[in-house]
Structure 1
Amino acid sequence: MQICLFLIDAGGQRPLVDIAPLQRIDGLRSLVVHEPISQHVDPRIPPAADAPSCVLQLYFDELAALEAAARLDGPIHRALREPLIAGRFMQQVMAVRALASHAPSTQARIQRCTYLVAYEGPAEDFDTWLAHYLRHHAPLMSTLPRLRELEIYTRIDCTIGLPCTRASAMQRNKVVFDDASALADALASPVRESMRRDFHTLPPYRGATPHFAMHSTYGNLATH
Protein backbone atom coordinates (compact mmCIF):
# COMPACT_ATOMS: atom_id res chain seq x y z
CA MET A 1 0.00 0.00 0.00
CA GLN A 2 1.39 3.39 -0.96
CA ILE A 3 1.57 6.46 1.27
CA CYS A 4 0.51 9.91 0.05
CA LEU A 5 1.39 13.34 1.37
CA PHE A 6 -1.33 15.91 0.60
CA LEU A 7 -0.22 19.53 0.53
CA ILE A 8 -3.32 21.72 0.24
CA ASP A 9 -3.12 25.44 -0.50
CA ALA A 10 -6.28 27.07 0.76
CA GLY A 11 -5.39 30.67 0.08
CA GLY A 12 -6.09 32.93 -2.86
CA GLN A 13 -4.05 32.61 -5.99
CA ARG A 14 -1.83 29.61 -6.52
CA PRO A 15 1.64 30.20 -5.01
CA LEU A 16 4.67 30.04 -7.24
CA VAL A 17 5.79 26.43 -6.84
CA ASP A 18 8.77 25.00 -8.68
CA ILE A 19 7.83 21.36 -9.25
CA ALA A 20 11.19 20.29 -10.71
CA PRO A 21 13.03 19.90 -7.35
CA LEU A 22 10.20 17.75 -6.00
CA GLN A 23 10.59 15.30 -8.89
CA ARG A 24 14.14 14.51 -7.81
CA ILE A 25 13.28 13.47 -4.26
CA ASP A 26 14.54 10.00 -3.30
CA GLY A 27 11.71 7.53 -2.89
CA LEU A 28 9.06 9.68 -4.57
CA ARG A 29 7.04 7.44 -6.91
CA SER A 30 4.48 9.87 -8.32
CA LEU A 31 3.59 13.54 -8.14
CA VAL A 32 0.16 14.99 -8.91
CA VAL A 33 -0.60 18.70 -9.21
CA HIS A 34 -4.27 19.73 -8.97
CA GLU A 35 -5.66 23.17 -9.83
CA PRO A 36 -9.35 24.17 -9.77
CA ILE A 37 -11.30 24.14 -13.01
CA SER A 38 -13.46 27.09 -13.96
CA GLN A 39 -16.63 25.32 -15.09
CA HIS A 40 -19.29 23.91 -12.78
CA VAL A 41 -19.64 20.16 -13.30
CA ASP A 42 -21.78 18.85 -10.44
CA PRO A 43 -25.58 19.27 -10.76
CA ARG A 44 -26.11 18.36 -7.09
CA ILE A 45 -23.39 20.32 -5.28
CA PRO A 46 -22.86 24.07 -5.83
CA PRO A 47 -19.34 25.37 -6.50
CA ALA A 48 -17.30 25.70 -3.33
CA ALA A 49 -16.27 29.23 -2.40
CA ASP A 50 -13.26 27.91 -0.49
CA ALA A 51 -11.80 25.63 -3.18
CA PRO A 52 -8.04 25.15 -2.76
CA SER A 53 -5.94 27.03 -5.29
CA CYS A 54 -3.51 24.12 -5.49
CA VAL A 55 -3.28 20.56 -4.16
CA LEU A 56 -0.08 18.54 -4.41
CA GLN A 57 -0.03 14.78 -3.94
CA LEU A 58 3.34 13.14 -3.33
CA TYR A 59 3.28 9.32 -3.40
CA PHE A 60 5.83 7.07 -1.70
CA ASP A 61 6.07 3.30 -1.45
CA GLU A 62 7.34 3.42 2.13
CA LEU A 63 6.49 5.59 5.11
CA ALA A 64 10.16 5.88 6.06
CA ALA A 65 10.97 7.43 2.69
CA LEU A 66 8.18 9.98 3.09
CA GLU A 67 9.29 10.85 6.62
CA ALA A 68 12.86 11.35 5.40
CA ALA A 69 11.70 13.62 2.57
CA ALA A 70 9.36 15.62 4.82
CA ARG A 71 11.75 16.34 7.68
CA LEU A 72 12.47 19.92 8.70
CA ASP A 73 14.93 21.40 6.17
CA GLY A 74 14.56 18.21 4.12
CA PRO A 75 14.01 18.09 0.36
CA ILE A 76 10.26 18.90 0.39
CA HIS A 77 10.81 21.79 2.80
CA ARG A 78 13.66 23.15 0.67
CA ALA A 79 11.66 22.84 -2.56
CA LEU A 80 8.58 24.59 -1.14
CA ARG A 81 10.17 26.74 1.56
CA GLU A 82 8.50 30.08 0.81
CA PRO A 83 4.85 28.94 0.47
CA LEU A 84 5.27 26.59 3.45
CA ILE A 85 6.74 29.27 5.69
CA ALA A 86 4.06 31.69 4.52
CA GLY A 87 1.44 29.29 5.86
CA ARG A 88 -0.15 28.71 2.45
CA PHE A 89 -0.27 24.92 2.72
CA MET A 90 -1.91 22.43 5.03
CA GLN A 91 -0.50 18.90 5.17
CA GLN A 92 -1.86 15.43 5.70
CA VAL A 93 -0.25 12.01 5.30
CA MET A 94 -2.64 9.23 4.28
CA ALA A 95 -2.66 5.57 3.29
CA VAL A 96 -3.72 4.94 -0.32
CA ARG A 97 -6.28 2.36 -1.41
CA ALA A 98 -6.15 2.22 -5.21
CA LEU A 99 -9.47 0.54 -6.06
CA ALA A 100 -9.60 1.22 -9.80
CA SER A 101 -6.94 2.24 -12.29
CA HIS A 102 -7.32 2.44 -16.04
CA ALA A 103 -4.55 4.95 -16.60
CA PRO A 104 -1.94 4.03 -19.22
CA SER A 105 1.42 2.80 -17.95
CA THR A 106 3.71 5.61 -19.00
CA GLN A 107 6.43 7.91 -17.74
CA ALA A 108 4.88 10.84 -19.64
CA ARG A 109 2.96 13.56 -17.84
CA ILE A 110 -0.80 13.14 -18.23
CA GLN A 111 -3.61 15.71 -18.08
CA ARG A 112 -6.81 14.58 -16.39
CA CYS A 113 -9.83 15.95 -14.52
CA THR A 114 -10.28 14.93 -10.90
CA TYR A 115 -12.99 15.16 -8.27
CA LEU A 116 -11.42 15.43 -4.82
CA VAL A 117 -13.67 14.73 -1.84
CA ALA A 118 -12.90 15.01 1.87
CA TYR A 119 -14.85 13.59 4.79
CA GLU A 120 -13.72 15.77 7.67
CA GLY A 121 -15.31 13.60 10.34
CA PRO A 122 -15.24 12.34 12.93
CA ALA A 123 -17.34 9.21 12.53
CA GLU A 124 -19.23 7.84 15.51
CA ASP A 125 -17.37 4.53 14.95
CA PHE A 126 -14.68 4.82 12.30
CA ASP A 127 -14.19 1.06 11.85
CA THR A 128 -17.90 0.64 11.09
CA TRP A 129 -17.83 3.70 8.85
CA LEU A 130 -14.88 2.54 6.74
CA ALA A 131 -16.09 -1.07 6.48
CA HIS A 132 -19.45 0.14 5.16
CA TYR A 133 -17.85 2.63 2.80
CA LEU A 134 -15.47 0.10 1.27
CA ARG A 135 -18.11 -2.61 1.06
CA HIS A 136 -20.98 -0.56 -0.36
CA HIS A 137 -20.06 2.94 -1.53
CA ALA A 138 -16.72 2.28 -3.19
CA PRO A 139 -18.07 -0.47 -5.51
CA LEU A 140 -20.69 1.98 -6.77
CA MET A 141 -18.04 4.63 -7.37
CA SER A 142 -15.97 2.14 -9.36
CA THR A 143 -18.80 1.84 -11.93
CA LEU A 144 -18.95 5.55 -12.77
CA PRO A 145 -18.83 5.79 -16.58
CA ARG A 146 -15.43 6.55 -18.15
CA LEU A 147 -13.70 6.36 -14.77
CA ARG A 148 -9.88 6.32 -15.01
CA GLU A 149 -8.90 6.01 -11.37
CA LEU A 150 -10.46 5.63 -7.95
CA GLU A 151 -8.44 6.06 -4.77
CA ILE A 152 -9.59 6.19 -1.15
CA TYR A 153 -7.30 7.60 1.52
CA THR A 154 -7.34 7.16 5.28
CA ARG A 155 -5.22 9.12 7.71
CA ILE A 156 -2.12 7.82 9.43
CA ASP A 157 0.19 9.25 12.06
CA CYS A 158 3.85 9.77 11.30
CA THR A 159 6.88 11.91 12.03
CA ILE A 160 6.88 14.94 9.77
CA GLY A 161 8.72 18.23 10.12
CA LEU A 162 7.16 20.48 7.51
CA PRO A 163 6.26 23.87 9.02
CA CYS A 164 2.61 23.91 8.05
CA THR A 165 -0.67 23.10 9.74
CA ARG A 166 -1.84 19.51 9.77
CA ALA A 167 -5.20 18.71 8.22
CA SER A 168 -7.20 15.98 9.91
CA ALA A 169 -9.79 14.67 7.43
CA MET A 170 -10.76 11.14 8.41
CA GLN A 171 -10.99 10.11 4.75
CA ARG A 172 -10.39 11.50 1.26
CA ASN A 173 -11.44 10.18 -2.17
CA LYS A 174 -10.22 10.81 -5.70
CA VAL A 175 -12.03 9.90 -8.90
CA VAL A 176 -10.23 10.68 -12.16
CA PHE A 177 -11.59 11.20 -15.68
CA ASP A 178 -10.15 12.23 -19.04
CA ASP A 179 -11.60 15.73 -18.92
CA ALA A 180 -14.25 17.96 -17.34
CA SER A 181 -16.91 16.76 -19.80
CA ALA A 182 -16.39 13.13 -18.78
CA LEU A 183 -16.55 14.09 -15.10
CA ALA A 184 -19.77 16.06 -15.65
CA ASP A 185 -21.34 13.13 -17.52
CA ALA A 186 -20.41 10.75 -14.68
CA LEU A 187 -21.89 13.07 -12.07
CA ALA A 188 -25.15 13.21 -14.04
CA SER A 189 -25.31 9.43 -14.54
CA PRO A 190 -27.63 6.85 -12.92
CA VAL A 191 -24.60 5.57 -10.98
CA ARG A 192 -24.40 8.90 -9.20
CA GLU A 193 -28.06 8.55 -8.25
CA SER A 194 -27.27 5.17 -6.69
CA MET A 195 -24.35 6.72 -4.84
CA ARG A 196 -26.58 9.45 -3.43
CA ARG A 197 -29.05 6.86 -2.13
CA ASP A 198 -26.24 4.90 -0.53
CA PHE A 199 -24.81 8.10 0.96
CA HIS A 200 -27.89 8.36 3.15
CA THR A 201 -27.18 4.89 4.60
CA LEU A 202 -23.62 5.70 5.72
CA PRO A 203 -22.94 5.15 9.43
CA PRO A 204 -23.20 8.30 11.57
CA TYR A 205 -20.49 10.93 11.19
CA ARG A 206 -20.05 14.66 11.64
CA GLY A 207 -18.18 17.31 9.70
CA ALA A 208 -18.31 18.72 6.21
CA THR A 209 -17.79 16.81 2.95
CA PRO A 210 -16.26 19.33 0.53
CA HIS A 211 -16.06 18.36 -3.17
CA PHE A 212 -13.58 20.03 -5.54
CA ALA A 213 -13.32 19.57 -9.30
CA MET A 214 -9.68 19.95 -10.34
CA HIS A 215 -7.51 19.99 -13.44
CA SER A 216 -4.74 17.48 -12.76
CA THR A 217 -1.26 16.95 -14.10
CA TYR A 218 0.29 13.68 -13.05
CA GLY A 219 2.34 10.70 -14.08
CA ASN A 220 4.86 8.19 -12.80
CA LEU A 221 8.33 9.48 -12.13
CA ALA A 222 11.54 7.86 -13.22
CA THR A 223 12.85 5.31 -10.73
CA HIS A 224 15.27 6.77 -8.18
Structure 2
Amino acid sequence: MQFSYLVTFTHPDAAARISDDDCQRVLRELEATPSLSRVRLYTPSAAKDYYTDDGPSPILAFQLDFERLADLEAVISADGHLQTLAALDLASLRTSSVEQQVMLRRPFPVLDATPQVPTGALPCQFLVHYPGRAENFDAWLDYYLSHHPQIMKFFPGVREIEIFTGVDWIDAMPWTRVHYMQRNKLMFDSDAAVTNAMNSTVRHDMRADFEKFPPFEGSNIHHPMWADTRYPVKRA
Protein backbone atom coordinates (compact mmCIF):
# COMPACT_ATOMS: atom_id res chain seq x y z
CA MET A 1 0.00 0.00 0.00
CA GLN A 2 1.30 3.47 -0.88
CA PHE A 3 0.10 6.97 -0.20
CA SER A 4 0.64 9.84 -2.61
CA TYR A 5 0.83 13.58 -2.09
CA LEU A 6 -0.57 15.22 -5.23
CA VAL A 7 0.03 18.91 -5.85
CA THR A 8 -1.07 20.93 -8.89
CA PHE A 9 -0.07 24.47 -9.93
CA THR A 10 -2.44 26.25 -12.32
CA HIS A 11 -1.22 29.48 -13.91
CA PRO A 12 -3.65 32.21 -15.09
CA ASP A 13 -1.79 32.25 -18.42
CA ALA A 14 -2.36 28.88 -20.08
CA ALA A 15 0.74 29.37 -22.22
CA ALA A 16 3.04 30.00 -19.25
CA ARG A 17 5.80 27.51 -18.46
CA ILE A 18 7.98 26.95 -15.42
CA SER A 19 11.52 28.22 -15.91
CA ASP A 20 14.40 25.74 -15.99
CA ASP A 21 15.89 27.34 -12.87
CA ASP A 22 12.63 27.13 -10.92
CA CYS A 23 12.11 23.55 -12.08
CA GLN A 24 15.53 22.53 -10.77
CA ARG A 25 14.90 24.27 -7.44
CA VAL A 26 11.61 22.40 -7.05
CA LEU A 27 13.23 19.09 -7.97
CA ARG A 28 16.04 19.57 -5.44
CA GLU A 29 13.54 20.11 -2.63
CA LEU A 30 11.36 17.19 -3.70
CA GLU A 31 14.25 14.75 -4.02
CA ALA A 32 15.47 15.66 -0.53
CA THR A 33 12.11 14.79 1.05
CA PRO A 34 12.51 12.32 3.96
CA SER A 35 10.96 8.83 3.71
CA LEU A 36 10.14 9.33 0.03
CA SER A 37 9.87 6.24 -2.18
CA ARG A 38 9.33 8.02 -5.51
CA VAL A 39 8.77 11.49 -6.93
CA ARG A 40 7.15 12.45 -10.22
CA LEU A 41 7.31 15.94 -11.63
CA TYR A 42 4.74 16.78 -14.31
CA THR A 43 4.97 19.53 -16.93
CA PRO A 44 2.51 20.35 -19.73
CA SER A 45 2.24 18.19 -22.80
CA ALA A 46 -0.45 17.94 -25.48
CA ALA A 47 -2.49 15.09 -26.92
CA LYS A 48 -5.89 14.69 -28.57
CA ASP A 49 -8.65 12.62 -27.03
CA TYR A 50 -11.59 11.46 -29.14
CA TYR A 51 -14.20 12.40 -26.52
CA THR A 52 -12.82 15.26 -24.42
CA ASP A 53 -10.93 18.53 -24.63
CA ASP A 54 -10.35 19.97 -21.16
CA GLY A 55 -8.02 22.72 -22.23
CA PRO A 56 -4.32 23.28 -21.51
CA SER A 57 -2.59 21.22 -18.85
CA PRO A 58 -1.48 22.83 -15.56
CA ILE A 59 1.89 24.56 -15.54
CA LEU A 60 3.25 22.05 -13.01
CA ALA A 61 2.23 19.14 -10.83
CA PHE A 62 4.05 16.65 -8.68
CA GLN A 63 3.38 13.32 -7.00
CA LEU A 64 5.28 12.17 -3.94
CA ASP A 65 4.84 8.50 -2.96
CA PHE A 66 5.29 7.13 0.57
CA GLU A 67 4.93 3.72 2.16
CA ARG A 68 3.28 5.13 5.30
CA LEU A 69 0.70 7.88 5.74
CA ALA A 70 2.45 9.03 8.92
CA ASP A 71 5.66 9.68 6.96
CA LEU A 72 3.75 11.69 4.37
CA GLU A 73 1.96 13.75 7.00
CA ALA A 74 5.29 14.47 8.71
CA VAL A 75 6.70 16.26 5.65
CA ILE A 76 3.58 18.46 5.26
CA SER A 77 3.28 19.31 8.96
CA ALA A 78 3.99 22.78 10.37
CA ASP A 79 7.71 22.02 10.68
CA GLY A 80 7.84 19.50 7.82
CA HIS A 81 10.35 19.42 4.99
CA LEU A 82 7.96 20.68 2.31
CA GLN A 83 7.38 23.97 4.10
CA THR A 84 10.75 24.96 2.62
CA LEU A 85 9.43 24.30 -0.88
CA ALA A 86 6.25 26.26 -0.22
CA ALA A 87 8.32 29.22 0.95
CA LEU A 88 10.49 29.39 -2.18
CA ASP A 89 10.05 32.50 -4.31
CA LEU A 90 9.61 30.88 -7.73
CA ALA A 91 9.09 33.70 -10.19
CA SER A 92 7.56 31.57 -12.96
CA LEU A 93 5.01 30.09 -10.53
CA ARG A 94 4.35 33.23 -8.48
CA THR A 95 0.80 33.83 -9.75
CA SER A 96 -0.24 30.17 -9.82
CA SER A 97 -3.03 28.75 -7.71
CA VAL A 98 -2.03 25.54 -5.92
CA GLU A 99 -4.15 22.53 -4.96
CA GLN A 100 -3.11 19.60 -2.79
CA GLN A 101 -4.55 16.20 -1.92
CA VAL A 102 -3.35 13.03 -0.21
CA MET A 103 -4.65 9.77 -1.71
CA LEU A 104 -4.14 6.03 -1.63
CA ARG A 105 -2.28 4.83 -4.73
CA ARG A 106 -3.56 1.63 -6.39
CA PRO A 107 -1.42 0.23 -9.25
CA PHE A 108 -3.08 -2.07 -11.79
CA PRO A 109 -1.45 -4.46 -14.30
CA VAL A 110 -0.82 -3.66 -17.95
CA LEU A 111 -0.09 -6.00 -20.85
CA ASP A 112 3.40 -4.61 -21.52
CA ALA A 113 5.12 -2.43 -18.93
CA THR A 114 8.41 -2.18 -20.86
CA PRO A 115 8.95 1.48 -21.78
CA GLN A 116 10.13 2.48 -25.23
CA VAL A 117 10.62 6.18 -24.61
CA PRO A 118 12.54 8.00 -27.36
CA THR A 119 16.13 8.83 -26.43
CA GLY A 120 16.39 12.13 -24.57
CA ALA A 121 12.62 12.37 -24.08
CA LEU A 122 10.25 11.88 -21.18
CA PRO A 123 7.23 9.57 -21.12
CA CYS A 124 3.80 11.18 -21.24
CA GLN A 125 1.15 10.57 -18.63
CA PHE A 126 -2.58 11.09 -19.06
CA LEU A 127 -3.88 12.54 -15.78
CA VAL A 128 -7.58 12.27 -15.00
CA HIS A 129 -9.54 13.40 -11.97
CA TYR A 130 -13.17 13.24 -10.90
CA PRO A 131 -13.93 16.41 -8.95
CA GLY A 132 -17.59 15.71 -8.21
CA ARG A 133 -19.63 13.44 -6.00
CA ALA A 134 -21.36 10.09 -6.48
CA GLU A 135 -24.84 9.41 -5.19
CA ASN A 136 -23.48 6.25 -3.57
CA PHE A 137 -19.72 6.52 -3.46
CA ASP A 138 -19.13 2.94 -2.25
CA ALA A 139 -21.11 1.54 -5.18
CA TRP A 140 -19.43 3.94 -7.60
CA LEU A 141 -15.93 3.02 -6.50
CA ASP A 142 -16.68 -0.70 -6.44
CA TYR A 143 -17.90 -0.52 -10.03
CA TYR A 144 -14.99 1.65 -11.19
CA LEU A 145 -12.24 -0.51 -9.69
CA SER A 146 -13.91 -3.72 -10.87
CA HIS A 147 -14.42 -2.63 -14.47
CA HIS A 148 -12.52 0.41 -15.71
CA PRO A 149 -8.84 -0.60 -15.20
CA GLN A 150 -9.63 -3.98 -16.71
CA ILE A 151 -10.39 -2.10 -19.95
CA MET A 152 -7.56 0.43 -19.58
CA LYS A 153 -4.92 -2.28 -19.77
CA PHE A 154 -5.84 -2.90 -23.43
CA PHE A 155 -4.94 0.65 -24.49
CA PRO A 156 -2.19 0.30 -27.12
CA GLY A 157 1.12 1.30 -25.58
CA VAL A 158 -0.03 1.84 -22.00
CA ARG A 159 2.91 1.20 -19.64
CA GLU A 160 1.37 1.89 -16.25
CA ILE A 161 -2.02 2.33 -14.62
CA GLU A 162 -2.44 4.04 -11.26
CA ILE A 163 -5.78 4.77 -9.61
CA PHE A 164 -5.99 7.03 -6.57
CA THR A 165 -8.73 6.98 -3.96
CA GLY A 166 -9.37 9.27 -1.03
CA VAL A 167 -8.05 9.19 2.51
CA ASP A 168 -8.32 11.57 5.46
CA TRP A 169 -5.14 13.50 6.16
CA ILE A 170 -3.72 16.36 8.18
CA ASP A 171 -1.34 19.05 6.98
CA ALA A 172 -0.15 22.60 7.58
CA MET A 173 0.74 23.54 4.00
CA PRO A 174 -0.36 26.95 2.67
CA TRP A 175 -2.06 25.40 -0.35
CA THR A 176 -5.75 24.74 -1.04
CA ARG A 177 -7.00 21.32 0.00
CA VAL A 178 -9.19 19.50 -2.52
CA HIS A 179 -11.18 16.31 -2.08
CA TYR A 180 -11.57 14.87 -5.56
CA MET A 181 -13.33 11.55 -5.27
CA GLN A 182 -10.91 9.72 -7.53
CA ARG A 183 -7.97 10.13 -9.91
CA ASN A 184 -6.23 7.92 -12.41
CA LYS A 185 -2.98 8.19 -14.34
CA LEU A 186 -1.98 6.28 -17.46
CA MET A 187 1.65 6.24 -18.62
CA PHE A 188 2.66 6.12 -22.29
CA ASP A 189 5.97 6.44 -24.14
CA SER A 190 5.12 9.78 -25.78
CA ASP A 191 2.43 12.35 -26.45
CA ALA A 192 1.82 10.68 -29.82
CA ALA A 193 1.23 7.38 -28.01
CA VAL A 194 -1.37 9.08 -25.80
CA THR A 195 -3.17 10.46 -28.85
CA ASN A 196 -3.07 7.04 -30.53
CA ALA A 197 -4.52 5.32 -27.46
CA MET A 198 -7.22 7.96 -26.93
CA ASN A 199 -8.40 7.50 -30.52
CA SER A 200 -8.30 3.69 -30.51
CA THR A 201 -11.22 1.29 -30.25
CA VAL A 202 -10.37 0.80 -26.58
CA ARG A 203 -11.27 4.45 -25.98
CA HIS A 204 -14.78 3.68 -27.25
CA ASP A 205 -14.95 0.70 -24.89
CA MET A 206 -13.95 3.02 -22.05
CA ARG A 207 -16.66 5.48 -22.98
CA ALA A 208 -19.28 2.74 -23.10
CA ASP A 209 -18.24 1.63 -19.60
CA PHE A 210 -18.29 5.26 -18.41
CA GLU A 211 -21.95 5.42 -19.40
CA LYS A 212 -22.62 2.49 -17.03
CA PHE A 213 -21.11 4.17 -13.95
CA PRO A 214 -23.44 4.50 -10.96
CA PRO A 215 -24.89 8.04 -10.86
CA PHE A 216 -22.43 10.84 -10.11
CA GLU A 217 -22.00 14.54 -10.79
CA GLY A 218 -18.97 16.54 -11.84
CA SER A 219 -17.78 14.54 -14.88
CA ASN A 220 -13.98 14.13 -15.21
CA ILE A 221 -11.00 16.23 -16.31
CA HIS A 222 -8.15 14.99 -18.53
CA HIS A 223 -4.65 16.46 -18.93
CA PRO A 224 -1.60 15.03 -20.74
CA MET A 225 1.71 15.86 -19.02
CA TRP A 226 5.36 14.90 -19.35
CA ALA A 227 6.44 12.76 -16.39
CA ASP A 228 9.93 13.01 -14.90
CA THR A 229 10.31 10.15 -12.39
CA ARG A 230 13.02 10.18 -9.73
CA TYR A 231 13.89 7.80 -6.89
CA PRO A 232 15.69 8.81 -3.68
CA VAL A 233 19.38 8.02 -3.53
CA LYS A 234 20.03 5.22 -1.05
CA ARG A 235 22.79 6.28 1.28
CA ALA A 236 25.19 3.87 2.99
| Shared fold per TM-score greater than 0.5 | yes
Partner of 1:129: 140
Give the fraction of aligned pairs with identical amino acids, expressed as a percent.
33
CA deviation vs aligned residue, 1:56-80 (integer Å, no higher than 9, x gap):
1011111011011111242111023
After TM superposition, list the pairs within 5 Å mapping 1:50-199 onto structure 2.
51-82=57-88, 88-100=97-109, 102=113, 111-199=122-210
- Contact 2:11/2:59 (8 A) holds in 1: yes
Structure 1: segments with no counterpart, 5+ residues: none
Q: What code does the residue aligned with 1:44 have?
A: Y
Counterpart residue type for residue 112 of structure 1:
P
2:63 & 2:204 partners in 1: Cα distance? 29
- Is it true that 1:220 corresponds to 2:231 in the alignment? yes
Distance in 2 of aligned mates of 1:124 and 1:216:
33
Secondary structure of the corresponding residue to residue 135 of structure 1? helix
1:180 Cα deviation from its structure 2 partner: 0.8
Partners of 1:85 and 1:111 lie apart in 2 by: 26
* TM-aligned CA deviation for residue 53 of structure 1: 1.0
1:32-73 CA-to-partner distances (Å, cap 9, x unmatched) read: 011111x44213212415x31111101111101101111124
Paired residue for 1:9?
9
Query: Counterpart in 2 of 1:24?
Result: 32
1:100 Cα offset (Å): 2.7
Amino acid at match of 2:186: V
How big is the alpha-carbon RMSD for the aligned residues of Structure 1 and Structure 2? 2.2
Aligned residue among 37, 40, 44 for 1:36 = 44
Contact 1:96 1:153 in 2 (8 A): yes
Q: Is the 8 A contact 2:54 2:221 kept in 1?
A: no
Describe the SS at the equivalent of 1:52. Answer: coil
The aligned amino acid for 2:154 is: T
**3-state SS in 2 of match to 1:132:** helix
Which position in structure 1 is the counterpart of 2:219?
208
Would you say how many aligned residue pairs link Structure 1 and Structure 2? 218
Residue identity opposite 2:48 in structure 1: V
Relative distance call for 1:14 and 1:91 in structure 2 (3 A) is: farther
Q: 1:146 and 1:87 mapped to 2: Cα distance?
A: 33
Q: Distance in 2 between the 1:171 and 1:185 partners?
A: 24
CA distance in 2, matches of 1:167, 1:110: 31
Change beyond 3 A, Cα 1:183–1:85: closer
CA distance in 2, matches of 1:172, 1:197: 19
DSSP 3-state at the match of 2:28: coil
**Shift in Å at residue 85 of structure 1?**
9.0
Q: What's the offset of the Cα at 1:220? A: 2.7
User: Quick one: distance in 2 between partners of 1:132 and 1:186?
Assistant: 23
Q: How far does residue 3 in structure 1 lie from its aligned partner after superposition?
A: 0.4
Structure 1: how far apart are the matches of 2:226 and 2:99?
19
Within 2, Cα distance between the matches of 1:5 and 1:149? 18
1:147-191 Cα deviation digits (max 9, x unpaired): 111000011111111111101110000000010111111111111
Cα distance between partner residues in 2 of 1:74 and 1:110: 33
